[in-house]
Chain A
Amino acid sequence: MITIALAGNPNCGKTTLFNALTGATAHVGNWPGVTVDKREGVCKKGDKPVTVVDLPGIYSLSPYTPEEVIARNYILDSKPDCVINIVDSTNLERNLYLTTQFLEMDVPVVVALNMTDELDKRGDRIDSKLLEERIGVPVIRISAFTGYGIKDLINRAVSAASRPRKGVSVLAGTSISDAISQVADRMNDETQSPVFHAIKLLEGDSVERSVHKKSASYADGLLSEFNDPIFGNDIEALVANARYDYITKNFSPALYRKEKGSTLTVSEKIDRVLTNKWAGIPIFAAILFVIFHLTFSEDFLFLGAMGVLGRNWDAKWVCFEGSAYFEGLFGSSDGIMAPGVILANLLNGITGAIQGGISGGLEAAGAAEWAVGFVGDGVLGGLFSVLSFLPQILVLFLFFSILEDSGYMARVAFILDRIFRRLGLSGRAFMPMIMGFGCSIPAMINTRTLADAKERTSTVRVIPFFSCGAKLPILTAMAGGMIGAFGVGDAGLITFLMYLVGMIVAFVAIVAMRSTTLRGELTPFIMELPNYRMPGFRSTMLHLWDKCKHFIKKAFTIILASTIIIWFLSHFAWNWTFLSDEAMDGSILASIGMLIQPLFTPVGFGAQLNSAGWVFAVAAITGLIAKENVIATFGTLAASVVSGFALDEALEGVDAVEALIGATGISGAGCIAFILFNMLTIPCFAAVATARGELPKGKFRWTLLFWIVTSYSVAAMIYTVGQFVWPVAIWIAVIAAAATAIVIWNKKNPLRKEIKAA
């Protein structure tokens, strides 16, 4: 099968084209650097099937970044039959810089002019026939977003793949062209793409020099006598300048720009507000708050708190008062539910009805009491506890997806760069952190775009502090349970604050690491800001479907198996005798929970709780497998543990947590500490495995210790201060001592002085 590689600048639409060609659902984002590794798929859109390889975005074929190394090595070593060079039509000249380098390789090249729909909207035009004539390879107009021109592109690429092509350089006629020819002639028998290798050798490319040592010495000999009147012997600068000169003289005439009345584009006008030096960060914080409010609040727009609703608003038809499963669907006496909560309530009602129906059916069929309890309260209770949060997860990620696809997230990285540099990171580190809100695993992989190893290590370590989708049920259920149990606060506000605390802890940890064990110089942050775009319906739905599919799959595999094991361990004693709910304190799980429970005393969910308190200790441990397990554990055990609670209704999610808070006697401060401990501690198995792969040698064990120490310290601080107030003085003293130690350490550190001087 023919293999076609997709290559081009970052954010030019390679992955969108890959998805359109192969039907894949790879992650697409409107910011540079989403793809960090190559991926393969099969395209059946043309006359015959072809293998398509999506390469990470690159600006050149020099080995400056990991992405450039991956793309270059793939094209040179794996030798695809054809390279489709995707070019952003709205940014033609800069994108063609990479094209001039592909032209130097002995590989068939087809240029795809992408985003032609955006170009048309601007009123600009590219004469693709003229461009094809000048470049000397096929040039096809496409729009990966709408699908325009894709079939033609793949057929032209297949046709080009059947005709071998020799590399040609646009540097002919420049002062370096003779040297290029001489080195290329010498390398002709040694390697394929001699023109490309010759130019790279003359540029002083480290990879080329190590592979072609003899030719490198020959090139050095030629360069010792070389002296350009403008660039001297700075060959890299000379070559870059010559490429842009060639593009301007030969390719740019194909571009016709519409005369514009205003010098500012729409994106630039929006950026004047959103990336404003003073307003940028408050606007970002306000947007985040609105998103959390729309997803989690049980008092939409705070209408209830402001008394806008009036006395009789909570009519029966709005609140579904007295309904077995749908009570409070749209609101309660406190206020109207936010859209995310309404959807969650709806799903809760449906799952509650299913749970009640199955339990009732088993009872009617004469099943034993333990079997009814196992299926109804144990397995379904645990499973539905987790599933009930799916609507809120989807609503939250719908908003995040819109922010990402619109191009706003790239701006946030830009506005945060100023703060990040003070913390010791570049703004580039913000993108993997934001990805961490979805899942820590791709976020950790995305840190490969960070050039500095120490910056990468510190970023990988704090990524789990940006609560992923799996931790969302913990936050939401605990917040909802606290409101029910203590009658204070707003679920949206509590969830937002918990996310905020996670971010603050991440930033403080970065400062501490970058000032002590992971000191290092800062790499400059250069990122091309993409144009604002209207998020596409298909790509947004693909994001959500991906999230939904993953969540449901996990619920019906790992979570389902976990609930079965948890129920089994909680209803059998060490001597394998079955235990009733009332005797559960003698179970295997309870004895393990009671054994480890004292460890959590300083963080508020240990020995100070009553006899059922071991449930919190067990939930914290099961959460290490998958974070959803924390709430699944509550859902599985709630009905059995909580005696005297109104058991005529299903105990899922928020209800299960509320019941457990009442039954165990955990305090509000203990609840907050429990949330933070689970948010900040060792992430799930999968994320730990990824961290192990991404971290440099020797850093993994320290990272595990870092997660344990951070989560324990923060949870202990929040609990002790929240519970007794007076320990605040002790914690201030500890923090002040740590800060003083870091300052003294830094004063002795010459590296810091060098950075300051620079």
Chain B
Amino acid sequence: MGAIEIVIICVAVAVVAAVVGVMIWRKVRGKGGGCGCDCASCRGCSACKKPVKNKKDEAKR
């Protein structure tokens, strides 16, 4: 396997890991839409029923 193939594999793995990681992080932290949708129209409102870790997070929101 040459250098080009290794670079392609690394980039592909990084892209998938980043997208899946961000989705999970958003879901857990309740950023954006909370549902992880990142919809352009999302206003981070109560509709998403965001999961919150503790009262501090709730207060921040």
Contacts and interface: CB of A to CB of B under 8 A. Distances in A.
B9 to A, nearest CB: 9
A690 B48 contact: yes
Interface string A19-48: 000000011000000000101000000000
Contacts of A39: 43, 45
A550 B40 CA distance: 6
A441 B33 contact: yes
A66 to B, nearest CB: 11
B8 interface: yes
Contacts of B22: 557
A547 interface: yes
Contacts of A418: none
B55 to A, nearest CB: 17
A693 B48 contact: yes
Interface stretch (A205-213, A340-348, A364-372): A364-372
Contacts of A558: 19, 23
A560 interface: yes
A686 B37 contact: yes
A564 B5 contact: no
A685 B47 contact: no
A549 B42 CA distance: 13
A439 B39 contact: yes
Contacts of A565: 16
B4 A366 contact: yes
A316 interface: no
A722 interface: no
A654 B41 CA distance: 29
A628 to B, nearest CB: 13
A553 interface: yes
Give the size range of B's interface with the partner.
20 to 34
B5 A368 contact: yes
A379 B23 CA distance: 20
B56 to A, nearest CB: 19
B4 A362 contact: yes
B15 A689 contact: no
Contacts of B1: 368
A696 B31 CA distance: 24
Interface string B24-61: 00000000011111111111011111000000000000
Given A37-B45, A368-B5, A689 B40 contact: no
Nearest to B13: A564
Q: Which of B35, B41, B45 has the most CB of A within 10 A?
A: B41
A534 to B, nearest CB: 24
Contacts of A371: 4-5, 8
Given A371-B4, A686-B33, A690-B35, A561 B41 contact: no
**Which of A365, A558, A685 has the most chain B CB within a 10 Å cutoff?**
A558
Contacts of B4: 362, 365-368, 371
Interface in A431-477: 438-439, 441-442, 444-445
Given A365-B4, A371-B8, A550 B19 contact: no
B15 A37 contact: no
Interface string A557-599: 1101100110010000000000000000000000000000000
A690 B47 contact: yes
A689 B48 contact: yes
B5 A690 contact: no
A549 B16 CA distance: 20
B43 A37 contact: yes
A43 B36 CA distance: 27
B26 to A, nearest CB: 11
B48 to A, nearest CB: 6
Contacts of B19: 557-558, 560-561
Contact of A686 (B12, B20, B36): B36
A546 interface: yes
Given A686-B33, A690-B33, 18 more contacts: A27-B41, A37-B45, A368-B1, A371-B8, A375-B8, A439-B39, A439-B40, A442-B39, A550-B38, A558-B23, A561-B20, A564-B12, A565-B16, A685-B36, A689-B33, A689-B34, A689-B35, A692-B49
Nearest 4 pairs of A and B residues by beta carbon:
A686-B37, A689-B35, A550-B40, A442-B41
26 contacts: A27-B41, A362-B4, A366-B2, A366-B4, A367-B5, A367-B8, A371-B4, A371-B8, A379-B12, A444-B47, A546-B40, A546-B41, A547-B40, A550-B38, A550-B39, A553-B38, A557-B19, A685-B35, A689-B33, A689-B34, A690-B33, A690-B37, A690-B48, A692-B49, A693-B35, A693-B49
